[in-house]
């Protein structure tokens, strides 16, 4: 299925003669008044339309340049301290649900809770909201270009930027999840799993998007588990290699330590029985204070 780009209506219609002739990229120190911001929104929209034409012609690299240039014209997003917009959205909705449950039970919450230091979301002006929408669409379209160019990691980053401006942007969630599935690492698959779950919560249950997300969520679960086991095993092999390098100096190896899953995604370590004889130690090892302590500690526990 052809990739569908997002389009937003122009703030206003104006002759191209009124557009900036230079690239007009903003720096962090630029301060613009409303009239300048409106003009830059028009500039960005025109560039976006050019990008859409290039994308429809399958000129992915040209479309990427148009979208990136358009994005550079817009004011930067004001950071609010929320690094994960999806997590913040879910936590906010969860908190509202808990408050409703307490109200429904008719019980007052008298427990003292520590005050949170979370920065409240600033109230956007209509113009700021227009900029947020434009940034989200451009970043999502940049993600679509990156997908076509096979750069899944960059596509994930672009979609994440889109979601910072609009945490409920379903199309950005879809694209990010699809790219994370291609990356196929444990963390990437887990992120895709979260995005599919968010899509299910955002769209109507009868929507084709909901059905697609549910199907993807069903098939991705065993892949997440397999990736977790694979990467955990690889990590343990690296850990054992490092451990053998260090323990070998004392006549030991990681074979003397048994690692067992603790059922919580981690491992418990137990010291297994071994035979320790001072005769197998070199003169340097016997004179080493650390080796001396290890030897007598093991003998005290009857390590045979």
Q: Are residues 24 and 171 in the same domain?
A: yes
Give the residue, 52 or 115, on which the prediction is more confident.
52
Convert the pLDDT of each residue in 141-153 to its tens digit: 999 999 999 999 9
Classify residue 84: in a domain, yes or no: no
Q: Is residue 35 part of a domain?
A: yes
Q: How far is CA 92 from CA 56, 144, 228, in A?
A: 38, 29, 29
> Do both 155 and 32 map to the same domain?
yes
Question: Cα 36 vs. chain centroid, distance in angstroms?
Answer: 34
176 with 252, same domain: the answer is no
> For position 69, what pLDDT does the model report?
97
Q: Of 248 and 18, which is predicted with more confidence?
A: 248
- State whether 154 and 260 are in the same domain: no
Query: What mean pLDDT comes out for the span 131-159?
Result: 97
Kindly state whether residues 143 and 291 are assigned to the same domain. no
In angstroms, the Cα distances linking 31 to 34, 39, 271 are 10, 14, 64
Residue 210 in domain: no
Answer yes or no: do 149 and 4 share one domain. yes
Say if 280 falls within a structural domain.
yes
The reply to whether 71 and 172 lie within a common domain is yes
The band of 242, judged by pLDDT with boundaries at 50, 70 and 90, is: confident
- The residue segments making up the domain with residue 28 are 1-12+19-79+127-183
DSSP 66-119: HHHHHHHHSPPPPP-S-S-HHHHHHHHHHHHHHHHHHHHHT-------PPP-PP
Query: Do 133 and 28 reside in the same domain of the chain?
Result: yes
- From 183, 200, 217, the end of a domain falls on 183
181-227, pLDDT tens digit by residue?
A: 999 999 999 999 999 999 999 999 999 999 999 999 999 999 999 99
Within this chain, do residues 156 and 51 fall inside the same structural domain, yes or no? Answer: yes
Task: Look up the pTM and report it.
Answer: 0.64
Instruction: Work out the average pLDDT over 129-152.
Output: 97
At 88 the pLDDT is 55
pLDDT tens digit string along 22-55?
Answer: 455 665 556 888 899 999 999 999 999 999 999 9
- The reported pLDDT for the residue numbered 71 is 97
Mean model confidence pLDDT for the chain:
76
**Predicted local distance difference test score (pLDDT) of residue 20:** 37
Q: Flag whether 85 is in a domain.
A: no
pLDDT of residue 241: 74
CATH code for position 140: 1.25.40.10
Same-domain status, 167 and 289: no
CA dihedral sign, ordered 222, 224, 227, 233:
negative
Output phi, psi for 166, to 5 deg. Answer: -145, 90
- Please list, residue by residue across 263-282, b when 16 or more beta carbons sit within 10 angstroms of its beta carbon and e when fewer do: eeeeeeeeeeeeebeeeebe
Tokens 């940034």 belong to 135
CA triple 134-138-141, angle to 5 deg: 140
Say whether pLDDT at 95 is over 50: yes
**Number of domains comprising the chain:** 2
Quick check: is 7 in a domain? yes
CA dist., res. 190 & res. 167, Å (int): 18
Reported in sequence order, the residue ranges of the chain that DSSP labels E, i.e. its strands, are 257-261, 267-271
Are 272 and 154 part of one and the same domain? Answer: no
Domain annotation covers residue 103: no
Question: Is 221 a domain residue?
Answer: no
Most confident segment among 103-112, 115-124, 167-176, 272-281: 167-176
One domain for residues 169 and 241? no
DSSP-assigned letter for residue 248: G
pLDDT at 146: 98
Confidence of residue 237 (pLDDT cuts 50, 70, 90): confident
Give CA–CA dist 23/132, Å, rounded: 20
Q: What per-residue confidence (pLDDT) applies to 123?
A: 83
Q: Which residues pair with 271 in a beta bridge?
A: 257
């Amino acid at each position: 299925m052809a990739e569908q780009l997002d389009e937003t209506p122009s703030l206003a219609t104006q002759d191209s003669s009124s557009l900036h002739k230079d690239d007009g990229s903003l720096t962090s120190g630029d301060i613009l008044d409303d009239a300048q911001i409106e003009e830059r929104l028009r500039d960005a929209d025109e560039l976006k339309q050019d990008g859409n034409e290039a994308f429809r012609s399958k000129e992915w690299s040209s479309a990427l340049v148009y979208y990136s240039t358009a994005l550079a014209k817009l004011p930067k997003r004001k950071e609010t301290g929320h690094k994960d917009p999806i997590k913040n959205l879910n936590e906010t909705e969860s908190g509202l649900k808990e408050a409703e449950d307490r109200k429904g039970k008719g019980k007052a919450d008298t427990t003292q809770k520590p005050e949170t230091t979370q920065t409240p979301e600033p109230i956007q002006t209509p113009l700021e909201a227009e900029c947020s929408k434009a940034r989200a669409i451009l970043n999502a379209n940049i993600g679509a270009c990156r997908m076509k160019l096979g750069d899944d990691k960059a596509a994930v980053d672009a979609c994440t930027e889109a979601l910072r401006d609009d945490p409920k942007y379903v199309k950005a969630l879809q694209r990010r999840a699809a790219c994370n599935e291609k990356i196929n690492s444990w963390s990437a698959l887990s992120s895709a799993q979260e995005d599919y779950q968010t899509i299910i919560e955002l769209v109507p249950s009868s929507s084709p998007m909901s059905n697609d997300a549910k199907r993807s969520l069903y098939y991705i679960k065993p892949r997440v588990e397999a990736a977790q086991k694979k990467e955990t095993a690889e990590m343990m092999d690296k850990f054992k290699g490092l451990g053998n390098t260090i323990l070998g100096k004392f006549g030991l190896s990681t074979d003397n330590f048994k690692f067992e899953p603790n059922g919580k995604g981690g491992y418990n370590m137990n010291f297994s029985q071994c035979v320790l004889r001072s005769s197998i130690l070199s003169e340097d090892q016997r004179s080493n204070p650390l080796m001396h302590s290890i030897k007598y500690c093991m003998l005290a526990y009857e390590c045979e």
